[in-house]
Amino acid sequence: MKLYKIAKGILLEHEGAAYIIDDSWDKLVNRDNLAAYLQTVIDDTTPLTAGVYQEFSNDQVLPPIGTQEVWAAGVTYLKSRDARMEESETSGGASLYDKVYDAPRPELFFKSMPYRVSGHGGEVYIRKDSEWNVPEPELTLYINSKGNIQGYTIGNDMSSRSIEGENALYLPQAKIYEKSAALGPCLYVTAQPLPADSAIKLLIKRDGAAVYQDETTISRIKRSFTELTSYLYAECDFPQGCYLMTGTCLVPPPTFTLQVGDEVYISIDHIGTMINTIGINPKHK
């Protein structure tokens, strides 16, 4: 089942039919057994007619988030560890990444307030003071206030590799700025965990042509989602639940940096594809 947040409300899509849910996003998603609840909505609601469904589908898709914080896990895949060790070699910070990959405690960091999050079709920004920038395609969990995973979405943890590589203590500046996070296009709600063989793909286009393309599966993650969740919830309460990006598993080669106008396509099996265009904050041009 897919929940879309659109300008007209909340659209639920399931098996080719669509339903409008009259509720607030926070209240709707923050329940246990969300999938079972949505099934009762489907059973009790008349699906939209094809014409109305079409009209709603043309509506702007907003990021599937209410008032929740967005957090992120880091160095959860070998690919991320290796790329970061390489980029921080001259600053002497390489061993930090090695150690955190193997340590019992994962790297978790605050990523975004909802108002900085872009949705499918929107822009994500690169920083004016950063010369080396990449998108980070990440499976993102929606975890309710009780600490139970209720759904999955696609995340982009935009990162400045030059700022993080200069000094690991600059991580918040490399990671947190206007439109440095994207979530979308929907929240995929399922009672079962997302299959481990689910593919995650990244495609970057420049002037319509692919300049980077790769894919892998989420099974390559070092840690379980419940492990990441239990560290995140150990000493923080999230009254409306929380979104947790689970770390990047795809990193473009060191010669690659994003440019304004690039299009970033991130696809995850069962969830869909989120497309964003790279921009720069007009205030900071």
The count of residues interacting with ligand DO4 (CB under 6 A) is: 11
**Per CB under 5 A, 248 contacts Mg ion:** yes
- What's the DSSP call for residue 224? -
Q: Within 10 Å of residue 215's Cβ, how many Cβ atoms?
A: 14
Q: What's the closest the beta carbon of residue 16 comes to ligand DO4, in angstroms?
A: 35
Considering only residues 25 to 84 of the shown chain, the ones binding ligand DO4 according to CB under 6 A are: 72, 74-75, 80, 84
CA distances from 33 to 44, 45, 95, 121 (A): 17, 19, 41, 30
Q: What's the closest the beta carbon of residue 205 comes to ligand DO4, in angstroms?
A: 22
Q: How far apart are CA 50 and CA 47, in angstroms?
A: 9
One character per residue 225-244, x = contact with ligand DO4 (rule: CB under 6 A)? --------------------
| CB closer to ligand DO4, 18 vs 139 | 139
Q: How far apart are CA 116 and CA 118, in angstroms?
A: 7
**Sign of the four-CA dihedral 112, 137, 37, 7:** positive
Considering only residues 251 to 270 of the shown chain, the ones binding ligand DO4 according to CB under 6 A are: none
- What is the separation, in whole angstroms, between the first and last Cα of the chain? 41
Q: Which of 122, 184, 247, 252 binds ligand DO4 (CB under 6 A)?
A: 247
Q: Which residues contact 185 (CB under 8 A, 6 or more apart)?
A: 4, 61, 64, 119, 120, 121, 154, 271, 272, 273, 274
Q: What's the closest the beta carbon of residue 74 comes to ligand DO4, in angstroms?
A: 3
One character per residue 129-168, x = contact with Mg ion (rule: CB under 5 A)? -------x--------------------x-----------
**Per CB under 6 A, 136 contacts ligand DO4:** yes
Find the residue with minimal CB distance to ligand DO4. Answer: 74
Q: Which residues contact 168 (CB under 8 A, 6 or more apart)?
A: 88, 91, 93, 96
Task: Give contact residues for ligand DO4 (rule: CB under 6 A).
Answer: 72, 74-75, 80, 84, 107, 136, 157, 171, 247-248
